[in-house]
Amino acid sequence: MFVLVNLKTYPCDPVAVADAVRDVDESTDARLAVAPQAADLARVAETGVETWAQHVDPIEHGSNTGHTLAESVADAGAVGTLINHSERRLKLADIDGSVRAAERAGLETVVCANNPEQIGAAAALGPDAVAVEPPELIGTGTPVSQADPDIVEDAVEAADNVDSEVSVLCGAGISTGDDVVAAGDLGAEGVLLASGVAKADDPQAALEDLVDPL
């Protein structure tokens, strides 16, 4: 299972969370990674944790003030990037451009989508993985695997029908080890989560709970 912790813009210490993710990663067979804000990528990567960006833009070097260049993300130590998170939505053509930009920079990609239909469209763009995240469940503590398990199963089927090499992750409301196990039982190969770790009083304990049943 792949567990990707998105720190969003939460007021947490990104290095402290990164240290926790790294330490738990060393004690489990699961694969753990963290996605800090762009300004924190380098110092998070320096902890030795697998580091992901939250976004890259569909651009090349040039006149692109205020954008995030995939090569800069990679130079800062990131090995992958989220694309089209529900809080950073893109048009389909821009999702494609961002995937291509990430590939150009050697970054792994996870494209987020709201429902199985969008998952199919995202999988057709050839990312490494897609993640189904119903936006109404994000941050609620109610996992999609519990609220509507059919969404996860249908997303897995939709991706497989387009490209069986594209992995499917499950997001929104993931906060416990049981949530991670349920996602796996429904066919997901990983989970995205944020507040369950980033806003926890003890991020390491929260992570240990997440991976303990795996």
Annotated binding site for substrate: 6-8, 138, 173, 194-195
Longest CA pairwise span in the chain (Å): 48
Q: Measure the CA–CA gap between 64 and 59, rounded to whole angstroms.
A: 7
The DSSP result for 194-213, as a single string, is SHHHHT-SSHHHHHHHHHTT
Q: Measure the CA–CA gap between 132 and 118, rounded to whole angstroms.
A: 9
Find where tokens 């299972």 sit: 1
133 flagged as catalytic: yes
Classify the C-alpha dihedral 75-108-81-174 as positive or negative.
negative
Which of 50, 61, 85, 153 does the annotation list as catalytic? 85
Exposed, middle or buried: residue 93 (CB in 10 Å: 0-12, 13-18, 19+)? exposed
142 Cβ contact list (under 8 Å, min separation 6): 173
184 and 152 in contact (C-beta within 8 Å)? no
158 and 116 in contact (C-beta within 8 Å)? yes
85 flagged as catalytic: yes
Binding residues: 6-8, 138, 173, 194-195
139 and 178 in contact (C-beta within 8 Å)? no
Which of 133, 136, 157, 165 does the annotation list as catalytic? 133
**Active site (catalytic) residues:** 85, 133
